[in-house]
Structure 1
């Protein structure tokens, strides 16, 4: 879950513009795709607004898109063409940091790992299970078949909540 240097650069550049719109930056995905890259920005309401039951609206996404577009036009941190998407994290929200993971202990998460974990024929790069604990460097996930995996954050390529009713 350690962001690349490009994501860190974009976060530093974009976060103040997002905050100026009255919301917070949840995370950034940057996917170079040949001649056209994709920059996806996830925004979330501020904690006190969330406590009051507020949610991200289309108007919030539009305002952030406009503000961030201006910042990107001035600083030009992305070579070539790109598509800018602004979205709420949604029910199956991606998780970008240990602090975010810690907020969802007890919930089901889906992880794609950089290096396989497990032993023998049971090695796997994908783990889905209930998040049972998290520290600054690791998380513990218990799968449906009662296996417990202690996974280091620096081995996580992608993490998402799994929506359950």
Structure 2
């Protein structure tokens, strides 16, 4: 999961404003859409507050929106009009870095791959299963039918947590 140059630039500009609101930056999505672009910022409670079951509130989102709007007005990194959205990553959260997945070992994830894995008729570019382990180069996944995969992190285009009600 490689960040685009634009997302990396926006992250460098936005991260201090998010931190000033006493929340963590989970990730950023930037999608140019014709005349108007969409900038979506995902925030979550600080790790020490998560340990106390604190969740992101609408007030947190509003505070980040206000802070980031001011920063974007000064730096002006987005050409033309844009829509700014701020929210929590939610239950089915997207992962924006490989490091974020470490906390979710043992849970179900969905992956979209750059290149298909498997052999013959069993080749696939999507994989869903339990995240068994992750290291600096690859992860191990077990599908619901018991099939095991080792997938290079460099082959992952997109990854999401799959929420399962306990």
Query: If the length of structure 2 is used for normalisation, what is the TM-score?
Result: 0.96
Tell me the matched-pair count. Answer: 165
* 2:104 counterpart SS class: coil
**For 1:146 and 1:161, how far apart are their aligned partners in 2?**
19
* 1:103 counterpart SS class: helix
**1:154 Cα shift?**
2.0
**For 1:156 and 1:87, how far apart are their aligned partners in 2?**
24
**For 2:148 and 2:82, how far apart are their aligned partners in 1?**
40
Indicate yes or no: 2:2 matched with 1:7: no
Indicate yes or no: 2:67 matched with 1:67: yes
User: Equivalent residue for 1:144?
Assistant: 144
User: Equivalent residue for 1:84?
Assistant: 84
CA RMSD of aligned residues (A): 1.0
Q: How do 1:86-165 and structure 2 match up within 5 A?
A: 86-165=86-165
Query: If the length of structure 1 is used for normalisation, what is the TM-score?
Result: 0.96
* 1:115 counterpart SS class: strand
**1:137 Cα shift?**
2.3
**For 1:81 and 1:154, how far apart are their aligned partners in 2?**
33
**For 2:86 and 2:137, how far apart are their aligned partners in 1?**
29
Structure 1 unaligned spans of 5+: none
User: Where in structure 1 do 4 or more consecutive aligned residues deviate above 2 Å?
Assistant: none
Contact 1:112/1:156 (CA < 8 Å) preserved in 2? yes
* 2:95 counterpart SS class: coil
Once the two structures are superposed, what CA deviation does each residue of 1:76-114 show, in whole Å capped at 9, x if it has no partner? 111121111101011111111122101000000011112
* 1:78 counterpart SS class: coil
**For 2:38 and 2:32, how far apart are their aligned partners in 1?**
6
**1:37 Cα shift?**
1.3
Contact 1:22/1:46 (CA < 8 Å) preserved in 2? yes
